[in-house]
Copies of this chain bind each other. A is one copy, B any other.
């Protein structure tokens, strides 16, 4: 991942329910996986509360630092859904009713009351991101994509948005499990990592049926190199119990 031309991204997760422990976030893992397939490096993520100033401040920091920002959460119709307003604030844009969004929200069989109309308000200059699941759209403005928090909806919106993203070299990975303590494999692993700066080697300890081990993962954009380094690790650990990961 030392390619400085690789596109970068950040994720901004919005919602008190994630920080209070009420809800387990599932969007970060999904977005990380999908961005890696597109060759986009997810550089950081932040989780913030439903507070205007905090959302706007973090969004401005992230959008000026990374190529793309994906936000999840806070675009529904209730009083605690303030993402669109906060994004507008961050961009210094007005919040306006998008006629097409209003049409879609009305088309799907419901009276367009004040709360539903709220979901049609997006910052001036933003474009809609289709929501094939439940119709209330997301939007994108500048390098920022604004998605719903419900995982099925966020995933569907990402699929739509991905058409607008550059396709870099996908990130490939190879992994193996070794039944040994990390401290007994750290030295050879560090040597191999130092010799191959173009791949990333991770070691993730586990305990399985009372046996200690580590899942070793090689990641990089060159699949041939990734597999060669994985083979090198396997040879270096010959004599230990290694196997394909679970």
Residues of A within 8 A of B (CB): 16-26, 28-36, 42-50, 54, 58, 76-81, 110, 113-116, 118-119, 134, 150, 171, 173, 181-187, 189-190, 193-194, 200-207, 214, 217, 219
A-B contact pairs, 26 of them (CB 8 A): A18-B29, A19-B32, A19-B43, A19-B44, A20-B33, A20-B42, A21-B34, A21-B36, A22-B32, A22-B173, A22-B204, A46-B47, A50-B202, A76-B205, A77-B186, A78-B189, A79-B190, A80-B201, A80-B202, A110-B183, A113-B184, A114-B187, A115-B184, A115-B186, A116-B183, A119-B183
Do B46 and A45 have beta carbons less than 8 Å apart? Answer: yes
Do B203 and A78 have beta carbons less than 8 Å apart? Answer: yes
Point out the residue from B33, B54, B78, B187 that lies within 8 Å of A186, measured CB to CB.
B78
Closest to A152 in B: B207
Do A21 and B16 have beta carbons less than 8 Å apart? Answer: no
Do A49 and B45 have beta carbons less than 8 Å apart? Answer: no
Do B33 and A113 have beta carbons less than 8 Å apart? Answer: no
Do B48 and A217 have beta carbons less than 8 Å apart? Answer: no
Total copies of the chain: 2
Residues on B with beta carbons closer than 8 Å to the beta carbon of A116: 183
Residues on B with beta carbons closer than 8 Å to the beta carbon of A201: 79-80
Point out the residue from B22, B49, B110, B207 that lies within 8 Å of A43, measured CB to CB.
B49
Residues on B with beta carbons closer than 8 Å to the beta carbon of A193: 79-80
Do B182 and A78 have beta carbons less than 8 Å apart? Answer: yes
Are A49 and B54 CB-contacts (below 8 A) given A18-B32, A78-B190, A186-B118?
A: no
Residues on B with beta carbons closer than 8 Å to the beta carbon of A110: 181, 183
